[in-house]
Amino acid sequence: MKAKPVLILSLSIILFLSILGTALYFGVIKQSGVSSSDFVKPQWARLECSPLNPAGYDGKLYKWLDEGQTLFKCDQNTDQCRFRIQDSPSGSCYNPLNSVKGKYQICDVNGNNCGSSIQYSICGGNPTDYIFINNGQSVKFATGIFVTGESKTKIEFEWKPYVLNRFVGGARFVVNSVDCSITTSTRANILSGDNVDKLSRTGGPGLSWINYVNDWVYGPATNIVTYNSQQAYCSAGQVHSIVKLQVADGSLKKVDPMYKGTKPDGTAVNGLGNIIANVECCPSEPSCGSDFKYVKVVTNEKSCVSDIQCFNAGNPVSETGTTYVKYQCLSGNCIKSSPITVQCTTNAQCNNGQICDLSTTNYGSCVTQISGEYCGDGICQSTENGNTCSIDCGSSQKECSSFGQTYKESDSSLFGLIPASRGCVTSGWVYLAVFLIFITILILAVVIYFKLFT
């Protein structure tokens, strides 16, 4: 009877540790994934009904005339077929008995409405030239007394199979090798407006090809703000409304408003929502307040040993739309500079098609916007960090709101077993705690076993 209290206590401990381990795993470790508040932008590709191999005829059907098939239909998933006739095995052209002779007609796909008969005569293993017919046609061969060498008459019938291809940049991937039907698994990456069951071999957008989201590229959720009581997106001194794309499987994807691109047909794709307002700064930037204005320092001087200890880590601080100041460490104190005049401190001062370059090397210059990466595009690129582009990456030191997570610029955890990443990552002690809980549960299970059965 003494074993019963021990059993109850042990089971209670196991249950508690299991709940704690599950909470740690799903509440902390799983938080390193993409949350519903993250923004995404589409990496566009296209689905197209096109030949499996544009340069070759991969569909093949070889038959001898004495096998009984006399009608060859060009009704495959193709736009063109071809055929030729060969004597196999070949015989000498000097012996008339070795030659292959006969005739054929080009008809509709069912072998009716045929044209005039065309005669052929081959020998010596020299096939005829290829004869081409279009989809919806057929070739019908004659048999009987008008044909010699049926057992040696080899018909090589070929076509170009059309399949569903996915084009990404210069690469091509086969999605459906049977025909051009849209597979169920691809509907999560097709916009609802492009939803079709099957693509055709001819036609333009929506018929022979449609847009396809090859991948969803995740952007910083820290740029999501509340402006005038509505959810918005703030980047590079501008507040935008939020854009969403609905895909064919019914789900909605939030789209980074700063995304720009071009569809395969040349149509501009602009994820940019309506500009709600031009602001001094975005709250996700260092030293920017919730009122979308930089927090002003009270004093010009502060003891220091480097610029990093000064306001905004010594980087430019906007004062007006065309001026900024810097707080630099001079003679052991952070000293505010005189206002420095530039073209811009936000995009609002630049012409259409230009942006305000906010990088430390070219701060305050209006530059022509290009599709490549730049400081102020709202994405912390691999070449940027909190010191070189704080508007995209934030300050070098960040706080993580989730329990058990720390901010890493480029590091690994758990002795290098967890891949390096930038941003809030799960601390190594969390993985260690989960592991120790598992070991404890295992030991308790062994103890219970020996208490009950030994």
C-alpha torsion 143→144→148→150, nearest 10: 50
Least confident of 109-113, 199-203, 419-423: 419-423
The rounded percent of the chain whose pLDDT value lies above 90 is 12
Question: Residue 437's pLDDT is what?
Answer: 83
Q: Which token pair is 380?
A: 């912390």
Question: Residue 61's pLDDT is what?
Answer: 92
For 254-289, how does the pLDDT look when each residue is reduced to its tens digit (9 = 90+)? 777 666 655 555 655 566 567 788 888 888 777 788
How do the domains of the chain map onto residue ranges? Answer: 1-28+402-454, 39-50+163-278, 60-160, 307-391
Question: Residue 71's pLDDT is what?
Answer: 94
Least confident of 103-112, 235-244, 444-453: 444-453
The H or E element that residue 352 is part of is: none
User: Average of pLDDT values for 317-329?
Assistant: 84
Q: Which of the pair, 348 or 179, is modelled with greater confidence?
A: 179
- DSSP code of 290? T
Report the distance separating Cα 46 and Cα 210, nearest Å: 6
Cβ neighbours for 256, distance < 8 A, ≥ 6 positions apart? 39, 40, 41, 217, 219, 233, 271, 378, 379
Report the distance separating Cα 329 and Cα 339, nearest Å: 17
Coil, helix or strand at residue 106 = strand
CATH among 1.10.3470, 2.60.40, 2.60.120, 1.10.260 for 60-160:
2.60.120
Question: pTM of the predicted model, to two decimals?
Answer: 0.47
Average pLDDT, the chain: 76
How far does CA 30 lie from the centroid of its chain? 22
Question: Residue 257's pLDDT is what?
Answer: 67
For 29-60, how does the pLDDT look when each residue is reduced to its tens digit (9 = 90+)? 333 333 344 677 777 788 888 888 887 888 89
Question: Residue 317's pLDDT is what?
Answer: 83
